[in-house]
């Protein structure tokens, strides 16, 4: 018996946006006949109850194919319109209509931001772990009480709980889930680096194991850049926090911590970071 990964549905999802002359365009409309084929396949899937009976490994194949599309937002918007996401990741459709603040203090729709976020990861040719982390990064904002909108107090904890529930419905690769959890915990701290003093920056780099795992640190920086670019009006601007974080890591890495207790090592790194970031 063929699995979902062997059918045309994953192939249709994976090619969403491939024929788009302007991949960065904000219009989310598939061109025919691709749209007709995909929508027909999804309608049949839902009518037969296939998404409910689908094994967890095939559910991941569906999400993975959509994430690997040239414009994932086209694939996921179609999944949303056909209520597939309501079964797989119910928090995602619930994000639409929920406001959040940007640095410019303008309210922006969280769901629309998430579609731009995953498109930015595709434009950056990010690995699947980063694309999945982008998709789920703000799931917890769906559960924010409307009385406190556009603030989202402790949405990170709600997102972690949503990820735990998602992992029971979908067979998520361990590496993708681990990186998504890291991004939920730390991405906003990267965004706030200009507001942090040297001590908290040293602690942030320590938590991220940035000295020992520089490739993962760069992957997280790239994800933060995609999140930042997803806010309206920022797409063509460079991520302003990256240079400061790299300079801080360079300063911390130059400190000889051999023989120092953990607290003493962090203090020494904080002093080096302070000196490196001090205005000239």
Cβ(255)–Cβ(268) below 8 Å: yes
Longest dimension (CA), the chain: 67
H or E element: which one contains 216?
Answer: helix 214-229
> What is the DSSP secondary-structure string of 193-262?
GGG--HHHHHHHHHHTTTTT-HHHHHHHHHHHHHHHHTSTT-TTSPPTTHHHHHHHHHHHHTS--TT--H
pLDDT for res 103: 67
pLDDT for res 116: 96
pLDDT for res 2: 45
HSE (side-chain half, CA atoms, 13 Å) at 59:
21
- Rounded to an integer, what is the distance from CA 230 to the centroid of its chain? 11
pLDDT for res 25: 46
pLDDT for res 20: 63
**What's the predicted TM-score (pTM) here?**
0.92
Angle at 253 between CA 251 and CA 256, to 5 degrees: 105
Mean pLDDT by 10 residues, the chain (280 residues): 58 86 50 79 87 94 97 96 94 97 81 97 97 98 96 97 98 98 98 95 98 97 96 80 97 96 97 94
């Amino acid at each position: 018996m063929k699995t979902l990964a062997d059918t045309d549905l994953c192939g249709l999802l994976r090619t969403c946006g491939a024929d788009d002359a302007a991949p960065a365009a904000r219009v989310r409309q598939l061109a025919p006949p691709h749209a007709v084929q995909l929508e027909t396949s999804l309608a049949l899937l839902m009518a037969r109850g296939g998404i409910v009976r689908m094994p967890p490994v095939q559910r991941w194949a569906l999400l993975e194919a959509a994430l690997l599309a040239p414009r994932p937002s086209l694939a996921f918007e179609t999944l949303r319109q056909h209520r597939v996401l309501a079964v797989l990741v119910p928090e995602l459709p619930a994000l639409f209509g929920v406001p959040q603040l940007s640095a410019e203090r303008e309210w922006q729709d969280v769901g629309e931001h998430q579609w731009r976020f995953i498109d930015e990861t595709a434009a950056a040719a990010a690995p699947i772990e980063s694309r999945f982390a982008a998709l789920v990064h703000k799931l917890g904002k769906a559960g924010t009480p409307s009385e406190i909108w556009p603030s989202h107090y402790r949405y990170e904890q709600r997102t972690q709980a949503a990820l735990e529930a998602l992992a029971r419905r979908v067979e998520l690769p361990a590496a993708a889930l681990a990186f998504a959890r890291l991004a939920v915990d730390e991405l906003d701290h990267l965004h706030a680096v200009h507001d942090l003093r040297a001590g908290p920056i040293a602690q942030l780099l320590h938590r991220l194991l940035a000295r020992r795992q520089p490739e993962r640190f760069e992957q997280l920086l790239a994800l933060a850049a995609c999140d930042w670019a997803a806010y309206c009006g920022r797409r063509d601007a460079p991520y302003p926090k990256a240079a400061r974080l790299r300079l801080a890591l360079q300063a911390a890495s130059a400190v000889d911590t051999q023989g120092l207790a953990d607290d003493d090592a962090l203090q020494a790194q904080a002093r080096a970071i302070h000196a490196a970031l001090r205005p000239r």
